[in-house]
Structure 1
Amino acid sequence: MELKSDLSAAQQQATALTTAKDQLLADASSVTLDEQTTVQGNPKARAVIQRSGEMANQMKTAVTTTMEHLHSVASDFEAVDQEGAQAIKGE
């Protein structure tokens, strides 16, 4: 088994996560609450929509934290790879 760091691949994955996060938040923020009609299900729908928005924000936080960790780990691995390569070359 080979363990190899790939900063470019990590950046691509982080970009994909950012795109997914942005789309999720765009979808969540595009919902508007009906404040004018008195349909029986409106209060429950309002609660569900608000909870969905809260969950979208929680997911945004989790994805942002994951991306930060991904960047950090990828950078650390890249630095260790560089140090290892220099040590092997005797620099």
Structure 2
Amino acid sequence: MKDRYPKRIVCLTEEPTETLYLLGEQHRIAGITTFTVRPSQARKEKPVVSAFTSANIDKILELKPDLVVGFSDIQAEIAAALIKQG
């Protein structure tokens, strides 16, 4: 059953990063946004792959995420670029 859950998550906003840390699931986070401030250790432990409306698509793909969490249509261009890459 554990294989059904994402193992490598890229968080394009700070809220999912904070939530995963609070749940004790920070080991699943593969990349974060530059706007992550909570928890402070996330900036030391995880690679930064995006700003809010821009992202390093190649860097995200190198992390081989099985889930990328974004925020509404504000990040639609990032989502489209990732979808295009498969």
Larger Rg: 1
TM (norm. structure 1) is 0.21
Between Structure 1 and Structure 2, the one with more strand by share is 2
Between Structure 1 and Structure 2, the one with more helix by share is 1
TM (norm. structure 2) is 0.22
